[in-house]
Structure 1
Amino acid sequence: MKLKSFILTIIVIFMIFVTINSKIFEKRKEINVLLLPSLPNPIAKEYVLITSAGQSTEAYIINDVANKLMIHNYFMPQAKMSDLKGINTIVVVVGTSPLGEKLNRINVEDEKKRVGELLKEAKKEKLVVITVYMGGKERRDKSTDELLSIICPQTNYLIGTKEANYDNFLSEAARSSKIPLTLINTVSDIIEPFSSAFR
């Protein structure tokens, strides 16, 4: 009787162990599938609209990258729904800049509303959305996180910096939205993942 009880206990412990480990493995597998150095196949087409969410200068960098890659694009940091005519892909460069907002006479709430309307129209028109965040840890303020939280669920591909993902915010956003994520070391590493979305 004691032997039967002992064997039963061992079996139960083994089953618990297997269940826990299989769940951990599934979670790791899911994260690994999402985290890519670049996209294996292109998802986006020209013409491209590059806009900002937060009016940081990083949007100008992405515009420069697109021009170097000879990707036909329109650069409109404050793009609105009416600017989507003839567009197949939207690139949203996230990052709040108090100076940029002041110069453009807008605030974070204005940006949330504008970007939200833009994404709503993009979904209606079935446009591809690529989101880029190139700021580091120090730029990950509340406003930037709020913008990322609005944009990521409607994004097809997310590119961010490893430094910005110090708390797994970007990887968790990608996992919950089931979108591919590329984390880069420095801004100069943006070219490969960005171009992989188009060719």
Structure 2
Amino acid sequence: MAASMPALYAFQERSTDNWLGLAFAPIDLAEGRYGGLFTSMLLHGSWAHALMNAVGALTFGAPVARLFRGTVGVAVFLALYICAGIFAALGYGLVHWGSTDPLVGASGAVFGLIGAATRLLGGGGRVLPLTSRAVIRTSVAWMAVNAVVGLIGFAPGVDGARIAWEAHAFGFLFGILAIGPLARSFAGPDERFDSPPGLGDPRA
């Protein structure tokens, strides 16, 4: 999935229209066009933008992917990623209702993975509760950095474009909330923490 981002951008960069017809703009919601909520995730604004999201997906997607097993696990992981991206674009569209500025990039989906991973890091293969102090501290830190970067407008590959920090926040929110029920329904047992059958109290 991470490799697909620079690969798709290589095709996008060579297209005649830069695939802008696949971008999402908030005005699309008012005019009944919803395809861009998904297709905008396939686009990026520059090589740096695509590579940065690829690194983010690889880094934070790994602990999430390890939580699920088999073919069903792959489907659940991809569903989490795609739905986080759609929710991120939708949230951005509602905040900026009527705007014609295009939104591109998989950052919202990647932040969904970051949100999900926030409840896994330090959990020993298990999902930490939302009320965990570690989860709360990490979430506050992520959103503070996200808001500062968004408001300052400084990030690699931006090239003067506006950073959709609101989409990042919506994606993060989706991921951190969705990972709980998804783990309860689909997570496979982690062999590292399984007890062998017949385990009893140690004897001297």
TM-score range, shorter chain: under 0.3
Greater strand proportion:
1
TM-score (norm 1): 0.26
Larger-Rg structure: 1
Greater helix proportion:
2
